[in-house]
């Protein structure tokens, strides 16, 4: 679904349905900002990766598509060199492609992470997100099932036989999504199974992650089932946000000058099941995709506190929204 956003009034207006693809789950913009990629999540069979070209008027033109090579494909990213990485949650794999002249190649390599047979009960891999480090040297994959972060050398990520290095998270945390601080050597990981935010010191030379802090993103007296989802840093670099689906909230963490995260507040997401959210480039607005209430809530942010200035400005009807991408 293509929408136009007014950053002055905070209004979102529907423009067009670009394509009807099976259960689209995540979007990514290539480094040239000319192409948008969408991954299709099939729960019982292989998904697909679709490429769209951006026109000058903002509309999108379908280019081509390929099989994702895995089940429950839930995330896509594009590296600065044009490598496309698709994570498939169901079978714990990342499929690699090339993006050339707006077309995605046939799969170059499919890397499947090994189950932990020593664990009781046995752990199975669930690759949930691939993210490129600042500087483009490393590719990290959040493995929710094996409770670890895989680190690939990006130049060798799509090379058969080259094994990544694992950084283990605490047991049964379920690392889901990761974001890097743009300035400080810090990486932040939100864990789905308990809603904890992990802060890591990141060594850009070796790729090593060293755990610094472990903080809850849910109220300590809340007794429901955690289901954390998305994580973003505000453009001011002073605030980090996390969405919690069953709690129907967004947690706010303040970031200090060296990138340490301190829990600050919570606010209602404006619907049910905040699967994803995005902050507009001006930093004034947060748009939240509430999957099970079929709406997008628009929150105006206080640029200093990072909190909404009032209840959601507007609720936009959208059928099962799962990802929001600002393309500027």
DSSP E strand stretches across 247-312: 249-255, 261-268, 274-279, 285-290, 295-300
Does the pLDDT of residue 64 top 80, yes or no? yes
pLDDT at 304: 79
**pLDDT (average), residues 44-53:** 92
**Short-list 11, 79, 52, 87, CA closest to 296:** 11
List pLDDT tens digits, range 81-121.
Answer: 999 999 999 999 999 999 999 999 999 999 999 887 777 78
* pLDDT 10s digits, 145-197: 999 999 999 999 989 888 899 999 999 999 999 999 999 999 999 999 999 99
Cα(222)–Cα(309) distance, rounded to whole angstroms? 25
Q: Which fold has domain 174-328?
A: Methylamine Dehydrogenase; Chain H (2.130.10)
Q: Confidence band (pLDDT; 50, 70, 90) for 314? A: confident
Superfamily of segment(s) 23-168 = YVTN repeat-like/Quinoprotein amine dehydrogenase (2.130.10.10)
d(CA 32, CA 38): 16
pLDDT of residue 312: 84
Same fold, 23-168 and 174-328: yes
Dump pLDDT digits (tens) for 223-260: 999 999 999 999 999 999 999 999 999 999 999 999 99
CB atoms within 10 A of CB 201: 16
Domain residue ranges of the chain, discontinuous segments joined by +: 23-168, 174-328
Sheet (strand 60-71) strand order: 24-29, 35-40, 46-54, 60-71
Return the closest-CA partner of residue 259 out of 313, 191, 212, 327.
212
């Amino acid at each position: 679904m293509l929408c136009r956003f007014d950053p002055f009034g905070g209004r979102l207006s529907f423009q067009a349905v670009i394509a009807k693809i099976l259960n689209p789950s995540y979007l990514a913009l290539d480094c040239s900002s000319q192409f948008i990629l969408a991954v299709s999540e099939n729960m019982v069979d292989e998904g697909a990766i679709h490429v769209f070209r951006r026109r000058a008027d903002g509309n999108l033109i379908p280019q081509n598509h390929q099989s994702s090579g895995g089940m429950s494909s839930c995330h896509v990213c594009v590296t600065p060199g044009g490598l496309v990485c698709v994570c498939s949650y169901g079978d714990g794999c990342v499929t690699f492609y090339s993006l050339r002249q707006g077309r995605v190649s046939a799969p170059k390599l499919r890397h499947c992470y090994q189950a932990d047979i020593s664990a009781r009960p046995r752990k199975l891999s669930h690759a949930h997100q691939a993210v490129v480090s600042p500087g483009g040297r490393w590719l990290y994959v959040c493995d929710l099932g094996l409770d670890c972060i895989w680190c690939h050398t990006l130049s060798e990520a799509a090379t058969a036989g080259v094994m990544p290095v694992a950084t283990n998270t605490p047991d049964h945390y379920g690392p889901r999504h990761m974001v890097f601080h743009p300035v400080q050597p810090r990486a932040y990981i939100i864990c789905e199974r308990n809603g904890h935010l992990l802060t890591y010191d990141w060594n850009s030379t070796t790729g090593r992650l060293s755990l610094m802090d472990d903080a809850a993103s849910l109220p300590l007296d809340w007794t429901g089932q955690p289901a954390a989802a998305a994580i973003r840093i505000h453009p001011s670099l002073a605030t980090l946000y996390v969405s919690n689906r069953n709690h129907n909230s967004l947690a706010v963490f303040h970031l200090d000058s060296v990138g340490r995260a301190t829990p600050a507040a919570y606010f209602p997401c404006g619907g049910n099941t905040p699967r994803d959210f995005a902050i507009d480039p001006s930093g004034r607005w947060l748009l939240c995709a509430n999957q099970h209430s079929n709406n997008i809530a628009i929150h105006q942010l206080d640029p200093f506190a990072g909190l909404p200035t009032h209840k959601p400005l507007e609720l936009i009807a959208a059928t099962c929204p799962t990802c929001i991408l600002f393309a500027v």
